[in-house]
């Protein structure tokens, strides 16, 4: 059984409902259990202005799927929620990222783990720390220290 962390994000089409639907879909992935989920966090979009805020969250999964199979399941959920990507950083109904898969390093054309940008994103690190305050990102260091280095990015925990 591997512990895998998945990042969820949405800024289109009722993000709160999109994330609720995505969490329900995660529960249906075979050979996989949702062990914990974070609160929702609100953040301003990175890399393009004039878009709605994002809602983000992180789920902790316990799985016997391979990392590739798990990514395939996440992409199927994205497709089912009709994600459209007309241009880079476009608003999105649902984005699912495989952040961590145990302590493995994976570097293939279609899958990089740890997720290559997670260590620099407060909207990933804040919910991750809620689920595991002692977490270390392989090759990057303590999530607590990584979040401190993202102090210029505002994220706020949404009321339940």
Q: Which residues are catalytic?
A: 83, 92, 95, 97
| Nearer residue to ligand AMP within complex by CB, 67 or 131 | 67
Q: What is the per-residue DSSP string for 33-84?
A: EEEEE---EEEPPSS-SSSPPEEEEEEEEEE-S-HHHHHHHHHHHHHHTT--
Range in contact with ligand AMP (rule: CB under 6 A) among 46-54, 91-99, 127-135, 142-150: 91-99
Cα(3)–Cα(120) distance, integer angstroms: 21
| Nearer residue to ligand AMP within complex by CB, 108 or 151 | 108
Distances (CA, A) of 130 to 35, 52, 62: 13, 24, 17
Size of the site for ligand AMP (CB under 6 A): 9
Give the x/- contact pattern for ligand AMP in 39-68, rule: CB under 6 A. Answer: ------------------------------
Q: Per the structure block, which two tokens stand in for 84? A: 């459209």
Do residues 98 and 116 make contact, with C-beta atoms less than 8 angstroms apart?
no
Kindly state whether residue 115 participates in binding ligand AMP, applying the rule CB under 6 A.
Answer: yes
Kindly state whether residue 137 participates in binding ligand AMP, applying the rule CB under 6 A.
Answer: no
Kindly state whether residue 110 participates in binding ligand AMP, applying the rule CB under 6 A.
Answer: yes
Q: Interface residues with ligand AMP (CB under 6 A)?
A: 71, 95, 97-98, 110-113, 115
């Amino acid at each position: 059984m591997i512990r895998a962390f998945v990042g969820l994000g949405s800024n289109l089409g009722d993000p709160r409902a999109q994330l609720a639907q995505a969490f329900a879909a995660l529960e249906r992935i075979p050979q996989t259990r949702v062990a914990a989920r974070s609160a929702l966090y609100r953040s301003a979009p990175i890399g393009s202005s004039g878009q709605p805020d994002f809602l983000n969250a992180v789920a902790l999964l316990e799985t016997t799927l391979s990392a590739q199979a798990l990514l395939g399941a996440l992409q199927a959920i994205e497709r089912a929620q009709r994600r459209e990507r007309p241009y880079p950083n476009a608003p999105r109904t649902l984005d699912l990222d495989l952040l961590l898969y145990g302590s493995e390093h994976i570097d293939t054309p279609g899958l990089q783990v740890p997720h290559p940008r997670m260590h620099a994103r407060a909207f990933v690190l804040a919910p991750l720390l809620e689920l595991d305050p002692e977490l270390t990102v392989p090759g990057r260091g303590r999530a607590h220290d990584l979040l401190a280095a993202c102090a210029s990015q505002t994220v706020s925990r949404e009321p339940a």
